[in-house]
Structure 1
């Protein structure tokens, strides 16, 4: 497990899958805001669940987020689209509803940066989020990311197009935890 101050990132366990699927995937409106892929009905326990325990991959690193104080599953975090040639990756996080608003997102982002920069040797990490997702933009900014631009009406979200904000962090801008 990679530890932050409030959270840890560990490999996904089979016992995490039904909880993540139920709380993060089955909420169609929220899931539609969190993923660029269309929501499809996927039954719990299916190998097609986005939370199914993945085989190790060079292109993605999927983690379960654990709140250290309670040792409870708090959500998921991942680096995806890992490009070893460009030494860049994208970041995604999603916390269970009961764990939102506790200030965990900043810590999760910092731990993902440690993994991406210190463990994987990446040069750049990038976040794409809906432009009205103030919580994620604030967390990313607090973790050191810079807002780099807006992709106008680039995301189809539950019946309408929405703007996306792009935030980036370079390794030489990153401040490792002490």
Structure 2
């Protein structure tokens, strides 16, 4: 498990999937704001769910996010679009509604940066988020991400086009915090 100050990132467990599907995926508005694909209903337990992990997939690394105090599931985090040639990837996360506003997002981004830069040896991480997603913008910028541009009217969300903000962080500009993100014992 990767450990931040408040949360840990661990492998997705089978019993995480129904919670994540009910709290994140089945929320049509939330899903529509976070994904580029249109929402469609998925039968509970379906292997078609994007929440089901394919351990053979090398360009997409999904995590479940848990509170360090008690191990309660609080969301999902992903390093996706991993490009080994250019040593880059994208960061994504989704917090359950009851877990928002507690500083978990900033901690998740920090842990994903550690994973991307230290564990995977990447050179660049990137985040794309809607321009009105103040929580994600704040989490990214607190971790050193720089706004690199705005993709005007690039996201179709619930009947209207919205702007996306593109943020990037290079390994040489990353300032890791002093916490250890690796599991204890080594």
Q: What's the TM-score once normalised by structure 1's chain length?
A: 0.98
| Deviation at residue 53 of structure 1 after TM alignment | 2.5
Q: Contact (CA 8 Å) 1:7, 1:67: kept in 2 or not? A: yes
User: RMSD value over aligned CA atoms?
Assistant: 0.8
Q: Secondary structure at the match of 2:57?
A: coil
| Deviation at residue 70 of structure 1 after TM alignment | 2.8
CA distance in 2, matches of 1:39, 1:135: 22
Q: Contact (CA 8 Å) 1:54, 1:62: kept in 2 or not? A: no
CA distance in 2, matches of 1:123, 1:37: 28
Q: Partner of 1:23 in structure 2?
A: 23
Q: Secondary structure at the match of 1:15?
A: helix
| Deviation at residue 58 of structure 1 after TM alignment | 1.7
Q: Secondary structure at the match of 2:153?
A: strand
For structure 1, the 5+ residue unaligned runs are none
Q: Partner of 2:127 in structure 1?
A: 127
Q: Secondary structure at the match of 1:110?
A: helix
Q: Partner of 1:73 in structure 2?
A: 73
Q: Partner of 2:95 in structure 1?
A: 95
Q: Partner of 1:61 in structure 2?
A: 61
Count of aligned pairs between the two proteins = 178
User: Greater CA deviation, 88-97 or 44-53?
Assistant: 44-53
Q: Deviations over 1:76-114 (max 9, x none)?
A: 000110000000000100000010000110000000000
Q: Contact (CA 8 Å) 1:17, 1:53: kept in 2 or not? A: no
CA distance in 1, matches of 2:90, 2:19: 24
For structure 2, the 5+ residue unaligned runs are 179-186
Q: Partner of 2:141 in structure 1?
A: 141
CA distance in 1, matches of 2:94, 2:68: 17
CA distance in 1, matches of 2:78, 2:13: 14
In the alignment, structure 1 residue 7 sits paired with structure 2 residue 18: no
Q: Secondary structure at the match of 1:153?
A: strand
| Deviation at residue 177 of structure 1 after TM alignment | 2.6
CA distance in 1, matches of 2:31, 2:4: 26
| Deviation at residue 166 of structure 1 after TM alignment | 0.4
Q: Partner of 1:111 in structure 2?
A: 111
Q: Partner of 1:162 in structure 2?
A: 162
Q: Partner of 1:85 in structure 2?
A: 85
Q: Contact (CA 8 Å) 1:117, 1:123: kept in 2 or not? A: yes
List 4+ stretches of structure 1 deviating above 2 A.
Answer: none
